[in-house]
Amino acid sequence: MPSDKTPNTKDAAPPAGQTSLSQHTSKVRDFFSIPAPVKTLFDKAPVLTYPPNDLPQRAPKPARIPSLYVFISKEDAAAGRPSYNPSCLKWQTFLNFAHINHRLMPSSNHASPSGALPFLLPPSKNPQEAPTPITSNKLVKYVEEQGKTVEESSSMRYEAYQSLIDHRIRDAWLYTLYLEPLNFSAVAYHLYVSPNSSNPLVRASISHQLRSAAEAELLKHTAIIDTDDLYSEADKAFEALSILLGANSWFFGTAEPTLFDASIFAYTQLLLDDELGWQEKKLCRALRRRANLVQHRERLLVRYFGGL
Amino acid sequence: MASNNDSGVTLLESLRNPDNKRLEEKVKELREREEAHNAKAAQRLKDLIASNSTLPVTISSIRLIGQGSQHTRRSFLDRLFNPILSVNRDVPYTLSEALQEAGSAADKLRRFEIYHDVSMFIDKPEPTDPSSTPTDINIFLSARERGRINLKTGTDIGNVEGSAYGNLLWRNIFGGAESLSLNASKGTRTHSSYQAVFDTPIASDPDKRLTIDALASSTSKPWASHEEVLKGAGLKYSWAAKGGSSHQLSYSGVWRQITNLAAGASPTVRTDAGDSVKSSISHTWTSDHRDNPLLPSRGYLLKTVSEIAGWGPLRGDVGFWKSEIETNAAVPIPIPGIKGDSGVSFSTGLRAGMLYPLPVGFSGAPLPSRVNDRFQLGGPTDIRGFNIGGLGPRDGNDGVGGDIYAAFASNLLFPFPRVGKDTPLRFQLFANGGRLLALKDKGGNTSQSVYSTIATLADGLPSLAAGVGVVYAHPIARFELNFSLPLVVRRGEDARKGLQFGVGINFL
């Protein structure tokens, strides 16, 4: 609807035309505006308002603390144990570093606004409005906003070492978990396939999707998947990280653990966790050879996850 | 020269513009004569049959005279016609009985939808034929098979939904009225849908049908901030029962995915996001005695739907027993001073449903319901004056559904002045309402939680809305434009004040 306050730039326009236009617009507005008697009627409705209906049984109980949606079993979530997914575990550990009290919600990628876990759902302030989820890339900012701090390393080499974890170790992890057939059926299947459905067809379809997604991810960087190369690159990465850690408690010699410690812990915890039942242990053995990395994992487990 | 030219022009003119009036009159006259002839013939036949209705006859043969290519199997037709041949009957026919039987067989043939038109003739065999008896009659059916392949594309507009579709129908595949229908559509709400349906009559009976279908679709459910992706297959058997009711028994297995959540999705929907398989058997019974399902002025509808999922050998990921009952009744209201049907009618509908959680398999704890199994209530086609999914438990902006519901609607319909009662246009006054509740948590005692939730249905007034509107019953769908006001609501329920537009087939 054109506003009649629009300044008339064309002086030549006859004033009569302008009046008829403004008359016309006001008529249009009158047509769309609610007549007074109807408005009083509208204001009266609804006549009676009862308290809200209860939510279904599966609905999460309202909480005062934020909820972190991760890949985890129900029992482990209740006990606050580590997630079995590296990126979930990284941010779960990070929140523990920041002493942000949260509850863990077992979930799947379908629940996430970004298509990948984890994400954090802050407590609801208003029952009429769902809180906006916070994806992992905004968690550092969220922690700052909450007035908590996690130490940050200012090292120049930080990025270089971070890329070792994000590429070399992650690629070897993807291969060893999804593409080593023994590990896939012994580990990945129980973690990522069977919790979704009991139906064999659906399980077969999800298995196929997972394996081809992992393969596609690996083929992003190379033309062919060379197993020996993947493992030896990961071995070199562990060696470099082991030298970097040296005799320090935390990487880069910080007083408190940083996000970098969380990112490496996300892999070392899972590779050293015997309960997962690894069958093909090449990657696990490469890690076990670095005693200070093993101790680093144990130190974090004791301090932030209440021991083994 | 000039006159020659003139006459040439008039001739051309008259050729170009023939005397329309005279031509029309001629056609009309011809038509009238034909109609009169037909009527006379029909009357004569009627008289003849009436005066001979008790004449004993035997049906010695039934012959189907097809035109064009014939794909229909002999064995399929034999099953239809053999039972009425006199050879296969102990009791002799009278003429009227024989005609009735033959007529109903012709009617069945029509209902398979493989022929364009079926017409019936009766003849007496030549008396000189040594194999015939004097009471013998022969029945001839003339029918033309319809095209076997039918390709159709188009667009549909419904309740806040626009879509485009393509449909391929393959009729009479094996010559027994089997059909295969492939359907693909894309729309604003149903993002994509692909469906294949194979349908076949059983024992040449159009009332007994077996259907196998496969489906893949993805549908947006904005009232609960998600998209549901389905992949499944099913088997249905439907049959007609005495008294005009129909049954349908079906098995379906569906892989459902709740995915692509909106940014504002509630924690309840987020918890239910992901995969689940429903394996269920359901039964639907319908008894529809309304004069017009889209705009009933008299008669009633009774419908029940029962579904069992997950329990025992069914497996899957969800377990429940679901029952729904739907009734709808209409009565015409006589207006003093108006002779015959006044066109004013009162209709009322009642629906109720319950979801009873069951364990999956043979043992274990009953599983609480998920958002895609729970009932939704509200919207222009059930409880007017509320948005879709607007009634019942709500988390944030999401209608998360409930396990138990009851809903009613009453409509008073008036014909438009001047337009009259014979048009499908009505003015309506309505009041509708209901309650939708989630099962209470009674520490795992399912029956107790169901009973106490049912008791809660009567707590206070139901959520209510009333209003006025215009109804237009198009032959394929009913359109309503209503002005409504909510009267009673629960906090959080999504009521709608003012105008609301609804399109649908099944209105409460």
Q: Which residues in chain A are closer than 8 Å to B268, comparing Cβ atoms? A: 55-56, 58-60
Q: Are B279 and B256 in contact (CB under 8 A)?
A: no
The span from the CA of A282 to the CA of A221, in Å, is: 22
ipTM higher than the 0.90 cut:
no
The span from the CA of A154 to the CA of A163, in Å, is: 16
Q: How many Cβ contacts (< 8 angstroms) between chains A and B?
A: 166
Q: Which residues in chain B are closer than 8 Å to A107, comparing Cβ atoms? A: 270-271, 273-274
Encoded tokens for B268: 């309840």
Closest CA in chain B for residue A201: B255
Lowest mean pLDDT among A31-40, A198-207, B247-256: A31-40
Lowest mean pLDDT among A222-231, B159-168, B286-295: B159-168
Instruction: Tell me if chain B has a CB within 8 Å of the CB of A46.
Output: yes
Query: What does the pLDDT read at residue A192?
Result: 94
Would you say residue B6 has pLDDT above 60? no
Among candidates A59, A111, A196 on the partner chain, residue whose Cβ is nearest the Cβ of B395: A59
Q: Measure A70 CA to nearest chain B CA, in Å.
A: 11
* Cβ <8 Å between A130 and B271: no
Among candidates A56, A197, A202 on the partner chain, residue whose Cβ is nearest the Cβ of B438: A56
Question: Residues B394-438: pLDDT tens digits?
Answer: 998 899 999 999 999 999 999 988 888 888 899 999 999 999 999
* CA-atom Rg of chain A in angstroms: 28
The span from the CA of B274 to the CA of B57, in Å, is: 68
Going by pLDDT thresholds of 50, 70 and 90, the confidence category of residue A13 is very low
Query: What does the pLDDT read at residue A6?
Result: 40
Q: How many CA within 13 A on the CB side of residue B165? A: 20
Instruction: Tell me if chain B has a CB within 8 Å of the CB of A123.
Output: no
For B11-47, b/e burial (b = at least 16 CB within 10 A) is eeeeeeeeeeeeeeeeeeeeeeeeeeeeeeeeeeeee
Lowest mean pLDDT among A100-109, A197-206, B144-153: B144-153
Residues 6+ apart with CB under 8 A from A225: A175, A179, A215, A218, A219
Encoded tokens for B196: 């294949």
Going by pLDDT thresholds of 50, 70 and 90, the confidence category of residue B17 is low
The span from the CA of A263 to the CA of A153, in Å, is: 13
Question: Which of B229, B230, B270, B439 is best to mutate for the A interface (most A CBs within 10 A)?
Answer: B270
Mean pLDDT across B364-374: 93
Question: Which of A33, A38, A39, A50 is best to mutate for the B interface (most B CBs within 10 A)?
Answer: A50
Closest CA in chain B for residue A120: B267
Mean pLDDT across A41-63: 88
Would you say residue A31 has pLDDT above 70? no
* Cβ <8 Å between B277 and A198: yes
| Whether pTM exceeds 0.90 | no
DSSP secondary structure letters along B423-483: SSEEEEEEEEEEEEEPPP--TT-HHHHHHHHHHHTTSSPPEEEEEEEEEEE-SS-EEEEEE
The span from the CA of A249 to the CA of A241, in Å, is: 13
Closest CA in chain A for residue B355: A56
Name the average pLDDT for chain B: 88
Question: Residues B194-247: pLDDT tens digits?
Answer: 999 999 999 888 899 999 999 999 999 999 999 999 999 999 999 999 888 999
* Cβ <8 Å between A54 and B438: yes
* Cβ <8 Å between A49 and B267: no
Mean pLDDT across B94-110: 86
Q: Are B444 and B395 in contact (CB under 8 A)?
A: no
